[in-house]
Amino acid sequence: MTIHIRPALGGLKVAAVTRNDISKLHRALSGTPRQANFALSVCSKAFCLAELWDMRPDGTNPCKRIERNAEMHRERFLSGDELSRLGAVLRQAETTGLPWKVDESKPNSKHLPGAEHRFTVYSRVTTAVVELLLYTGCRLSEVLSLRWDQIDFNAGTILLRKTKAGKPQTVTLNAPARQVLNSLSRDKDCPWVLPGKRISDKDQWKPLAKDAMEAAWQRIRAVANINDVRMHDLRHTVGTYAGQSGANAFLVRDLLRHANVAMTGRYVNKADDPVRALNDLVGERIAASLEGRPAAEVIRLRSTFKG
């Protein structure tokens, strides 16, 4: 988002920005209504903080009274065919790499390596993010911030300490999700499940950055020919497949941990088993599509534990 905001406002002092400046920025992005509104929200938050930090007088937020664009809300999910293509591209990304997008008409294109070398190989961490989004139904921020101490392999759960609901929540792990986690290398000095760059002078790790993952996703989805699919749509895919598997709306809400579960929880059996069974079913269907094979029948084993 900074690539849009900085050119428009970067040369102005905080106290000098006017509503007209923000309005121009918003109109310039009107071709992408959702992005325009997001830029407005980011600016609004920034100027609220500017007032809090005495960089602007109280009540002078220049984003006030700028009308937001109408947005078309959608529930995009991937078909089995699209999941198969995505799975093939993820495997290609880890092995031979994905081709660069090059405009041969540009003068500097002649200085690039030969076409046979224009490929980027992506790390297992990057492809694992996509798989975990599909197998867990988690939000991107929840996956990127995962630490190893949040995962209980014996119980088959992830404890999310910070969530959109503002309280800790538990995610059940299906078999494909556990396989992804087990496939990842683990450094005893790194707490992150999906590490990014290491800060050499401090010998500390950072989690994989959201911007880096967004950039990788742009390339992955282009090669898979699913250009209109956002990473959040992978969560929609989990919910849609759960619904198509015969789960009622209450179970789907529990599976995705929607904020309104508190209102519906009294009508739903909160036992873990129905959600876990549903999660296993959805995970197997998604895994089969990614791997290009028929879905196997998921058989629930009876617990031998006596409470």
Looking at residue 91, its pLDDT comes to 95
Q: What is the DSSP letter of 172?
A: E
Sole residue written with tokens 């050119």: 7
Residues 178 and 39: their CA atoms lie apart, in Å, by: 37
Q: Is the same domain home to 92 and 198?
A: yes
Nearest by Cα to 283 from 154, 180, 136, 153: 136
Unique residue bearing structure tokens 């999310």: 160
Q: Is residue 302 part of a domain?
A: no
The HSE-up count of residue 187 (CA atoms within 13 Å, CB side) is 14
Question: d(Cα 282, Cα 284) in Å, to the nearest integer?
Answer: 6
Same domain? For 88 and 214 the reply is: yes
Task: Give me the half-sphere count of Cα atoms (radius 13 Å) on the Cβ side of residue 14.
Answer: 16
Q: For each of the chain's 307 residues, which pLDDT tens digit applies?
A: 667 898 889 899 999 999 999 999 999 988 888 888 989 999 999 999 999 999 999 999 999 999 988 866 666 888 889 999 999 999 999 999 998 876 666 666 555 666 667 788 999 999 999 999 999 989 999 999 999 999 999 999 999 887 776 788 889 999 999 999 999 988 888 899 999 877 665 667 889 999 999 999 999 999 999 998 999 889 888 888 877 776 666 777 778 777 654 433 332 333 456 677 788 888 888 998 998 888 877 655 444 433 3
Whether 130 and 236 share a structural domain: yes
7 and 121 both lie in a single domain: no
Q: Write down which residue in 53, 73, 93 finishes a domain.
A: 73
Torsion, Cα 182 158 145 5, to 10 degrees, reads 120
| 254 plus 137 within the same structural domain | yes
Stated pTM of the model: 0.66
Best CA proximity match to 275, nearest among 142, 137, 153:
137
For residues 43 and 96, state if they share a domain. Answer: no
* Residue 97 lies inside a defined structural domain of this protein: yes
Number of domains in the chain: 2
Identify whether residues 40 and 167 lie together within a single domain: no
Instruction: Give the per-residue pLDDT at 199.
Output: 67
Domain ranges, residue 22: 1-73
242: helix, strand or coil: helix
- 150 touches 160 (CB < 8 A): yes
One domain, residues 15 and 84? no
**26 plus 160 within the same structural domain:** no
Closest CA relative to residue 289, chosen from 41, 96, 48, 82: 82
303 located within any domain? no
DSSP 8-state symbol, 192: B
Instruction: Show the tokens assigned to 11.
Output: 């040369």
Same domain, 88 and 34: no
Task: Return the CATH number at 179.
Answer: 1.10.443.10
**Mapping DSSP to helix (H, G, I), strand (E, B) and coil, where does residue 123 land?**
coil
Q: Are residues 150 and 9 in the same domain?
A: no
Please report whether residue 56 resides in a domain. yes
298 within a domain of the structure (yes/no): no
3-class secondary-structure state, position 62: coil
Same domain, 20 and 96: no
pLDDT at 116: 67
